[in-house]
């Protein structure tokens, strides 16, 4: 399960596209991928269609899931503080969180996940 700030922005697009590149391998290993952000279902559909993602994007417009996972928090940009999604990935196996990535390298995130899952 990966949480990301905004559909179709440079970092979020790179992160999602790197996951999409190995999604078939994940699927063959029965690994489910879910992307979650505060964006609307319409925004998710447009984003997923544009890049042909094979995995689901979940709209959490009320931030209930984001808050439950502790990834809705204070951020800062250009000195301005605001609430937003803290880019984080959770590797969950049999209902147990096995790994948390809170320092996501958007360009190499699948490498981080593959290493954690020890699948290559």
Cα(46)–Cα(26) distance, integer angstroms: 23
Cα(46)–Cα(61) distance, integer angstroms: 16
Out of 4, 12, 38, 85, the active site residue is: 12
Helix, strand, coil percentages in the chain from 3-state DSSP, rounded to 5 = 35, 30, 35
Q: Is 12 a catalytic residue?
A: yes
Neighbour tally for 84: CB within 10 Å: 19
Largest CA-CA distance found in the chain, in angstroms, rounded: 45
Would you please indicate which residues are annotated as catalytic (active-site) residues?
12
């Amino acid at each position: 399960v990966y949480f990301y700030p905004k559909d179709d922005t440079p970092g979020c697009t790179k992160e999602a596209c790197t996951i999409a590149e190995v999604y078939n391998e994940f699927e063959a290993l029965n690994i489910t991928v879910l992307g979650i952000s505060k964006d609307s279902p319409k925004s998710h559909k447009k984003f997923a269609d544009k890049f042909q993602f094979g995995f689901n994007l979940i709209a959490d417009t009320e931030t209930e899931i984001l808050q439950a996972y502790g990834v809705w928090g204070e951020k800062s940009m250009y000195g301005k503080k605001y609430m937003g999604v803290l880019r984080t990935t959770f590797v969950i196996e049999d209902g147990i969180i096995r790994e948390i990535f809170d320092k996501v390298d958007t360009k190499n995130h699948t490498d981080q996940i593959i290493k954690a899952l020890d699948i290559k």
